[in-house]
């Protein structure tokens, strides 16, 4: 029973071929392509409105130098949002519950923001490692602490996204299993657990959206420190 709960987090395969690549590229198929028509569909209008809203929210804290990152951050936000939401559907696989994938997304982008700061303003970027007015005896310890906190940023990004989605999926599976088991013996309790399951699913939809936004927002804040 314990192993079956975690089977949903294993990468699916067909004839020994991993299908995680299909799972990661499928959200892009849901986006409508641009056309030359004057009157577009409601889905296209909603999609453009959502993209403009996300881009505006992410680019407000950044200056003009950070606007060149708009395409990367907006694409990452939409990818994480669709992947997290599709993972809540029955009999689906959520790639963002894999720590390796989340680290593969977080580490290169974090490293890019760090290298951007070291290239454009090395003194200011290195100055973040030592707060102003630090007593001389505490300088080595503070430099070590700030360097450690800087290096664990991509790990924190990946672990936060993985832990929140994994915990939500496990709770949904546990409560749904209890609902099915109790429906024949205690229908009233089963109805109560079904209500809890419905509320938890709504909560997980919100968590999926919030975690995608937090992931990209933190990357934009890291970028803001280095431009």
**Distance between CA atoms of residues 136 and 140, nearest Å:** 8
CA-nearest of 195, 199, 165, 194 to 177 is 194
**Which of residues 36 and 70 earns the better pLDDT score?**
70
**What is the total residue count of the chain?**
227
Q: What is the pLDDT of residues 128-187, one digit of tens each?
A: 777 777 777 877 888 888 888 889 999 999 999 999 999 888 888 889 888 888 888 888
User: The tokens of 38 are what?
Assistant: 């004057």
Q: State residue 13's pLDDT score.
A: 66
Q: What is the pLDDT of residues 183-214, one digit of tens each?
A: 888 888 889 999 999 999 999 999 999 999 99
**Which of residues 18 and 52 earns the better pLDDT score?**
52
Whole-structure pTM value = 0.81
Q: What is the pLDDT of residues 16-31, one digit of tens each?
A: 666 666 667 766 666 6
* Mean pLDDT taken over the chain: 82
Residue 51: other Cβ atoms inside 10 A: 15
Residue 3 pLDDT > 60, yes or no? no
Query: What backbone phi and psi angles, to 5 degrees, belong to 17?
Result: -100, 120
Residue 1 pLDDT > 90, yes or no? no
User: The tokens of 168 are what?
Assistant: 């939500």
CB contact at 8 A, 157 and 106: yes
> Helices 153-182 and 187-225: crossing angle, nearest 10°?
170
**Distance between CA atoms of residues 224 and 210, nearest Å:** 20
**Distance between CA atoms of residues 141 and 135, nearest Å:** 11
Q: Give the pairing of strands 13-14 and 17-18.
A: antiparallel
């Amino acid at each position: 029973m314990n192993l079956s709960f975690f089977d949903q987090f294993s990468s699916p395969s067909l004839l020994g071929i991993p299908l995680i690549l299909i799972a990661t590229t499928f959200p892009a198929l849901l986006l409508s392509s641009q056309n030359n028509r004057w009157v577009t569909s409601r889905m296209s209008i909603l999609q453009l409105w959502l993209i403009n809203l996300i881009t505006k929210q992410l680019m407000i804290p950044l200056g003009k130098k950070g606007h060149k990152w708009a395409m990367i951050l907006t694409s990452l936000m939409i990818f994480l949002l669709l992947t997290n939401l599709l993972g809540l559907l029955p009999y689906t696989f959520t790639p963002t519950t894999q720590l390796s994938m989340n680290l593969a997304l977080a580490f290169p982008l974090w490293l890019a923001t760090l290298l951007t700061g070291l290239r454009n303003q090395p003194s200011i970027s290195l100055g973040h490692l030592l707060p102003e007015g630090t007593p001389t005896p505490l300088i080595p310890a503070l430099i070590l602490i700030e360097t450690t906190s800087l290096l664990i940023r991509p790990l924190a990004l990946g672990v936060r996204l993985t832990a929140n989605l994994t915990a939500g999926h496990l709770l949904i599976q546990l409560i749904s299993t209890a609902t099915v088991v109790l429906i024949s013996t205690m229908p009233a309790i089963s109805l109560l657990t079904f209500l809890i399951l419905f509320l938890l699913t709504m909560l997980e939809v919100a968590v999926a959206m919030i975690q995608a936004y937090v992931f990209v927002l933190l990357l934009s804040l890291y970028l803001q420190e280095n431009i």
